Amino acid sequence: MLIVYLIIALVIMLGLVVFFKLNVAIALVIASLFMGIASGLGLVGTIEGISDGFASMMRDLGIPIGLGVILGKLISDSGGAYSIAHAIVKKTSEKLALYSIGLAAFVLAIPVFFDVAFLILVPLAVQIGKQLNKSLPYPVGAIIIGAALSHTLVPPTPNPLAAASILEFDLGLMILVGTIVGFIATLLTIKMYFWFLDKGFWKKETDEDATVENPYGNLDIPENPPSAWLALIPIILPSIMILLGSVGNVIFEENPEIITFLSDRIIALLIGALAAYLVAAKTLNKEQRDASSSEAMQATGIVLLITGAGGAFGAIIQGTGIDQAILDIFVSDAQSTLSIILLSFFMGVLFRTITGSGTVAGITTMTIMAGVVAGTDVHPVWVAMASLSGGLMLGHVNDSGFWITTKIAGLTVKGGMKTYTTSEALAGIIVLLITLIGAHIF
């Protein structure tokens, strides 16, 4: 019956979002109420579980997410993000220029949101595509692939940042695995997507919107922006600090207090945000930097609310003991690794396809699987990778990212399906394959 209640709770959540257009966070709380009461936690117990789950998630992620968004906004507004992208593209040969655009998108989408990375890169990418005599989907697809993979897999973006807390493993490991897998997947996915395009997948007459004038907009880059190396400091520094704690765990029996302090995600991202503030001072005055930080915090609000509500839903699920029921029904002793990875992936695909939100898909799937993975030999980082890769799949017309990329790039809905939906689906499948290999080896 716990499985039945969970299915009903998910139907309630998805129905409220899809048919009644209710905010995802509110829908998650309502689904949590149903799940807790129906499963016998009681009225008071359900409310306490929701409160505790929300508080626990915010305790671990609230400040880091806010600091990460501020960091990214300052780097973007100062022109540092453009400097990074331009430097990466400039350092590569003409033959690899489109791959370098994808790698530039991968780097930029680590500190900033997907749509910001896309908006920064698309004018540069389209210009390079014209120089190489490549049609529009080549540069646009490369940006989507790189940005989507790092935004999905590499902290401090919300989903991979939440993965370490929800599944209870080292954040440094998430940074390391997410970066390596994402980098490899970016190159492989771009190669495969270009192969499809070379075979005549794209039809300009039906896939590009000829009525759109100047779809790429005017890129407003401040004069004399920070150099690429300078702009990279706030991005790289927090990762190094967090990884310091992971290395310390290997070297020392117990990490010295100073290493534990410096590698804490709050301290690491605080240092990164302060570094971004200093870097941005090259082009932005104090009032402009303060305005940029304020805008970043406004954008953070809904992300924090959804993340916290996902934590509440996860706490209720864990309180019912359903994780053991899922383990008993879906995971056999003979194929536990394969079953867990595939279950995580397809649950992520389901939530992303219906809700259109990769954040909801990843966090919901990981909270359901958190208790399941504890009873198996599968390392939780691979469950996170499977859940997140599933949440990367099949973004379409109910996804804001679909419309941003489609309209900015001047594509039709069909063209959007052939770029945004197809490229992300390929990326999700490739990450799944790498995850299956990794889960069986490590």
Token pair, residue 79, equals: 């022109």
Q: How many CA atoms lie within 13 A of 9 on its CB side?
A: 27
Cα–Cα dist 374/37, whole Å:
25
The single-letter code of the amino acid at 436 is: L
Q: CB of 98 within 8 A of CB of 134?
A: yes
Which pLDDT belongs to residue 74? 85
Give 361-381 as a DSSP string.
HHHHHHHHHHHHHTTSSS-HH
Residue boundaries of the structural domains of the chain: 2-203+222-441
Token pair, residue 56, equals: 């626990």
Cα–Cα dist 40/51, whole Å:
17
Which pLDDT belongs to residue 428? 92
pLDDT in tens, the chain (442 residues): 787 888 888 788 778 876 787 777 788 889 889 988 988 888 988 898 888 888 877 877 778 778 877 887 787 788 887 787 777 777 777 678 788 888 888 887 877 677 767 777 776 777 677 777 888 888 888 989 998 999 889 887 778 888 888 888 888 888 889 999 999 999 999 999 999 888 888 887 777 776 655 455 455 667 778 887 888 888 788 878 877 877 777 777 777 888 888 888 788 888 888 998 898 888 888 888 888 888 777 767 776 777 778 778 777 877 887 766 666 665 555 457 888 888 889 888 887 877 667 777 888 888 888 877 776 778 899 999 999 999 888 776 666 677 777 777 777 878 888 888 889 999 999 999 999 998 888 8
Looking at residue 177, what DSSP letter applies? H
Taking residue 198's Cβ as centre, other Cβ atoms within 10 Å add up to 10
Percent helix, percent strand, percent coil in the chain, to nearest 5? 75, 0, 20
